[in-house]
Structure 1
Amino acid sequence: MTKLAISAEWTKFWSVRATWWCLLGGALLMVFYTVVSGVSQHLGDGHPNSAHGIVLAGAVYLVEFCVVSVATLFVTSEYTSGSIRSTLQWVPVRPRVTVAKAAVLVPVLFGYGVLVASLGMAASTVSMGGAGAPTSVAQGTVTAVGMGAFFAFLGLLAMGISFALRSAAGTLVTVMVLLLPLPMLVSAYVIRGAMDYFPAFAGANAMVPGGEVNPLLGNEPPYQSWVGIVVCLAWGIAGLAAGTALLRRRDA
């Protein structure tokens, strides 16, 4: 039953037109951002940036919102159309529904993150044309894998919240608050440095090779990149668990 549910979710994921538009839009935004940032390195103003540093910023400033949209619509489009009734009738064990969606979403978004990171680094390298700081294969690999993990677990978090709220607008607002305003407020007024343990900032730290400065924050992350991945995983699991629990309670 689980394999059939995963197969069905795979078909539904790619049959939603918004999925293609969001993924394509994220890739185009990354290329646009990296080309513009690469060209700006020729101006010689400010600290020289690297290709992997540029794509890190592009992921946090732009592409992560496309990823959140993909994950959100993967769930809420079924509630909007009413097809969630058929899904729940066909898969009566509620956790299997969320697990099947997660089994589709996580590997797709991981691969998407690696692909977009590689595309962005290639575009920025070409547009820099020798300007800026160099990027080694090891540095590029850390950033690409970190971006893939960040996108995969961010999507898992958004998917879980979507099951909990059953609203695209509500989910998007909630996730955006978790990504930027809330961690900044908590870090400024409650616990200094707490932002590094919220999804967006942990994801950014996961893309920073060891010993380097996070180009967004201007300081070295307080932990290694793999710890950032674990923090993002914890947020994703928490979101999935919350969404599953509420799905079982309301739609038992």
Structure 2
Amino acid sequence: MTTTAAIRSEWVKIWSVRSTFWGLAGAVVLMLVFVLPSATSVTYTSTQESAPDLVAGGSFYLAEFAVIALASLFIAGEYATGSIRGTLQWVPVRSRFLAAKGAVLAPVLLVLGVVAAAVAIAVATPLMDGFGRAASTGEIIQACVANGAFFALTGLLSLGIGTALRSVAGSITVAFPVMLMTARVAGSLGLGVVNFMPGVAGAAALVPFGQPNPVSGLVPPYPSWAGLLILAAWTRLRTSSLPRIVLT
């Protein structure tokens, strides 16, 4: 099977299961679950958070859970059901199989991230009622695009982990600490590398340069776009090393 045919096959598969729709809807709902009360609380405090800042927190603390689960199910679910045998029979080149998965998953999560951020900002802005820091149009666009990239890279990282572990529960259990707990541990130990942890770096891309990271509370020592490069480097590390164990 050619690469194009493999991508078409994966496109059909991702939309043929209910878990995809639950995952997409879950990401938006979890984003709003975090953003709505946070936006309301801004009116009662003296914090200078903007709507994009709230989106960064919502993505890191809640919405990424749905993204990780969706990506893990997309790959590890095939091992759980046994359908992976048919997939590898039609696409025996393992690297092509994984590339087709990524080529389908990344655009879906990119669009999801943009839509989730746009909806959250649109809902949060009137709730903030002029309090907090006003975000410019450029900052809003940056937050939406960066959130899409954050979702896509997080999904690809989870895809690599799921390919290696072949278990939905196992891949989710590993991906959560990689994105969330590494930042917590580094921060609690006072390590200067906290800004370079994957989840924190991704959140830093959602706010303008010079603004505190809404997750760590620190001002990142790099431009906003560099946060996505750091997350991409983590994704590349995971997807190039872990899957190699099972794909060769």
TM-score under structure 2 length normalisation: 0.94
Partners of 1:161 and 1:242 within 8 A in 2: no
Structure 2 counterpart of 1:40, which letter?
S
Give matches, 1:103-252, under 5 Å.
103-186=103-186, 188-189=188-189, 192-249=191-248
Within 2, Cα distance between the matches of 1:233 and 1:182?
A: 16
Deviation at 1:78, TM superposition (A): 0.5
Within 1, Cα distance between the matches of 2:153 and 2:113?
A: 11
SS of equivalent residue, structure 1 residue 208? coil
Deviation at 1:187, TM superposition (A): 5.2
TM-score under structure 1 length normalisation: 0.93
SS of equivalent residue, structure 2 residue 15? helix
Compared CA separation, residues 145 and 101, structure 1 to 2 (3 A)? same
SS of equivalent residue, structure 1 residue 125? helix
Partners of 2:46 and 2:132 within 8 A in 1: no
1:39 counterpart = 2:40: yes
Identity among equivalent pairs (%): 40
SS of equivalent residue, structure 1 residue 47? coil
Q: Superposition RMSD on alpha carbons, in Å?
A: 1.6
Within 1, Cα distance between the matches of 2:31 and 2:188?
A: 30
Structure 2 counterpart of 1:225, which letter?
S
Deviation at 1:138, TM superposition (A): 0.8
Within 2, Cα distance between the matches of 1:129 and 1:185?
A: 36
Moved more, 150-159 or 31-40: 31-40
Structure 2 counterpart of 1:195, which letter?
V
Q: Which residue does the alignment assign to 1:20?
A: 21
Structure 1 counterpart of 2:135, which letter?
T
Moved more, 141-150 or 162-171: 141-150
Deviation at 1:245, TM superposition (A): 1.1
Structure 1 counterpart of 2:22, which letter?
W
Within 2, Cα distance between the matches of 1:187 and 1:30?
A: 24
Within 1, Cα distance between the matches of 2:184 and 2:39?
A: 28
Q: Which residue does the alignment assign to 1:60?
A: 60
Within 2, Cα distance between the matches of 1:133 and 1:208?
A: 12
Structure 2 counterpart of 1:245, which letter?
R
Partners of 1:179 and 1:200 within 8 A in 2: yes
Partners of 2:209 and 2:223 within 8 A in 1: yes
Q: Which residue does the alignment assign to 1:30?
A: 31
Structure 1 counterpart of 2:19, which letter?
A
Within 1, Cα distance between the matches of 2:130 and 2:46?
A: 16
Within 2, Cα distance between the matches of 1:194 and 1:50?
A: 26
Per-residue CA deviation, residues 176-227 of structure 1 (Å, 9 max, x unaligned), is 11122234334554x8221222210111111121221212222211111111
Unaligned runs of 5+ in 1: none
Structure 1 counterpart of 2:42, which letter?
Q
Count of aligned positions: 247
Deviation at 1:32, TM superposition (A): 2.9
Partners of 2:161 and 2:243 within 8 A in 1: no
Per-residue CA deviation, residues 56-108 of structure 1 (Å, 9 max, x unaligned), is 11111110111001100001110111000000000011100000000001111
Structure 1 counterpart of 2:221, which letter?
P
Deviation at 1:111, TM superposition (A): 1.3
Within 2, Cα distance between the matches of 1:58 and 1:130?
A: 20
